[in-house]
Amino acid sequence: MPSKQAIIDNIEEYTAVQLVDYIKDGIVTFEELCEETEGYFSASVRREVKQLLAGSEEDEWLKASTSNSKEVLLTYLQTYPESIHREEAREMISALEEEAQFAGSESEWDSIDKEDIAALKQFCLNHPSDDPRVIEARKLINQLQREAFLGFDIDALKQKVNDILTDSLVADKDAKIFETIKEYIRRKRVSISDVMSVIAQDHNFLRASVIEKMIDEGLISYDDLVSIGIERAFIAHLARGEKKQSFSTPRKLDMINKVCTEVYFWGIPSSGKSCAIGAILSIANNGEIARSMSKDNDCQGYGYMTRLAQLFRNDGSVGTLPEGTSIFSTYEMGFDLEDEKGQIHPITFIDLAGELVRCMYKSDANEPLSDDDMEALDTLTNILIDNRTKNRKIHFFVLEYGGEKRKYEGLSQTDYLDGALRYIERTGVFKDDTDAIYLMFTKVDKAGVTGEALVQVLQEYTEKNYKGFYQGLERICRDKEINGGKVERIPFTLGRVCFQDYCLFDGRAASNVVKKLLVRSKGFKNGKLQRGLNIFKR
């Protein structure tokens, strides 16, 4: 095969067909033959070469356009510089160059450490700013820098779990928590042993359903739970897949129909209010403190009450805590307790909607209220203002010990309670028919002390975290002459709780509340009950 220079120097020796082949092979171009042969490229041969090239141009274009080769397309342009396909060929060459460039960045991108800020920054310097991988790299850099400021370790994971629990926009909280833990482990921000250490310190860090997912995915084992001190009774309950009871939404409550002592339970979501009510009802129902309990099957929350009253047993067996109720539902539970002297105490528990405290805050803060918010406030107005009975009333504010830092839509439990207090004062919810107001602190086993030491701890805890709210309740008690102007603190615990869902019940705290209710509620001899109720009603 001759060289280009040999062809140019000896052009008279080559036929038109040979010259066309050399042009197609890319050895020489038609322009070079015309310009560099010093007139020895005769006009007749030139015309023949041109005709031969024109006759095969479409065939050559078909080959070039389907070759997916930059080199073949360049050869085509060199062979047919005046081709009608030249712009299309140039566009295809540009596209192939971009594709090759992207393939190079793609390969580099696949191998880069996505947790290394320096490596990501260097990648951005090496490639065009509009490269999709560069845009992705910048996003990762921003995320890693944000995590560096906020922290991305086991403490950050614990905070993230708490944030998910109070995020009203997260529907399936357990699934979100599980995926978050997996992501932290995948990115090697925490280890499985880090997570197990937290569970060892706090057996209620994660719900049973999350623990189940971790076992199913092979992240942890039952042996791991044994090794960190989880009681075998709880692990066996977990292995059986025991599920929480759920409750239906009740009809709207317009008024309290029973002549009785009305006992109201206030508390934000996750305060432990429903579990506390269940424990109190279980003790009232088991015959240990009250001789008997007769439930009113015509009250609005009869089914709810019946299920709660059988949840807890003092027999050493593991029980399953109830599922959370709708945060907008208020339940009425009427029953009669018989004391040791045979007197009957008509009582109605009112489990106020968990969202109510926040609704009261939002109302006074002039924040937008949803239809559910309005209905929760409307129920409160019905039973304690517009359709208020002449019954005697007792109020329990249920607060989670240790829950003061938990945020709900950016505000703490204290913020909402203070707002609710202003609403209560403005609307006159507490009147002279109120016999007592209590602060019930749930989950006090977290304090690690009992007896008089616990009393002192709760006093200091209230002073530190709920001082304004507590003093506001005391002021109401003084102004309305309720309970001698005192607000009593009641420590409350269910016993040993594990995985947030399972409980080895200790009924002593619930027993103290039942005793208190028997003392503070009016009792009647059974034979004189109706006459007594009529007097009570007046």
Place of tokens 């002279």: 432
Cα–Cα separations (whole angstroms), residue 77 to 60, 80, 81, 83, 89: 10, 5, 5, 8, 7
Structure tokens at 368: 């937008």
Greatest mean pLDDT among 33-42, 107-116, 203-212: 203-212
Instruction: Provide the pLDDT confidence category of residue 535 given band limits of 50, 70 and 90.
Output: very low
Helices (H), 205-293: 208-216, 222-227, 232-239, 273-285
Helix axes 43-65, 70-79, angle to 10 degrees: 150
- On whether the CB atoms of residues 414 and 361 are closer than 8 A, the answer is no
Instruction: Provide the pLDDT confidence category of residue 67 given band limits of 50, 70 and 90.
Output: confident
Q: Where is 436: in which H helix or E strand?
A: strand 434-442
Whether the predicted pLDDT of 532 surpasses 60? no
Mapping DSSP to helix (H, G, I), strand (E, B) and coil, where does residue 106 land? helix
> Residues 449-484: pLDDT tens digits?
999 999 999 999 999 999 999 999 999 999 999 999
Angstrom distance (rounded) from CA 150 to CA 80: 63
Mapping DSSP to helix (H, G, I), strand (E, B) and coil, where does residue 40 land? coil
From the CB of residue 205, how many other CB atoms can be counted at a distance below 10 Å?
A: 19
Distance of CA 107 to the CA centre of its chain: 36
Q: Calculate mean pLDDT across residues 530-537.
A: 49
Whether the predicted pLDDT of 52 surpasses 70? no
Give the pLDDT score at 94.
Answer: 82
pLDDT > 90 in the chain, percent: 50
Give the pLDDT score at 537.
Answer: 46
Q: What is the CA radius of gyration of the chain?
A: 40
Whether the predicted pLDDT of 54 surpasses 70? no
Give the pLDDT score at 122.
Answer: 87
> Residues 107-128: pLDDT tens digits?
678 878 877 888 888 888 888 8
Q: Is 475 exposed, middle or buried (0-12, 13-18, 19+ CB in 10 A)?
A: middle
Structure tokens at 145: 């820098």
> Residues 236-261: pLDDT tens digits?
999 988 777 778 888 999 999 899 99
Cα–Cα separations (whole angstroms), residue 150 to 144, 146, 155, 202: 10, 6, 10, 23
Angstrom distance (rounded) from CA 459 to CA 465: 10
Q: In degrees rounded to 5, what are phi and psi of residue 525?
A: -60, 140
360 against 97, higher pLDDT: 360
Beta bridge pairs of residue 161? none
Beta bridge pairs of residue 334? 348
Angstrom distance (rounded) from CA 491 to CA 442: 7
Whether the predicted pLDDT of 93 surpasses 90? no
Q: Residue type for 387, please?
A: N
Q: Calculate mean pLDDT across residues 422-439.
A: 92
Q: Calculate mean pLDDT across residues 477-500.
A: 94
Distance of CA 301 to the CA centre of its chain: 29
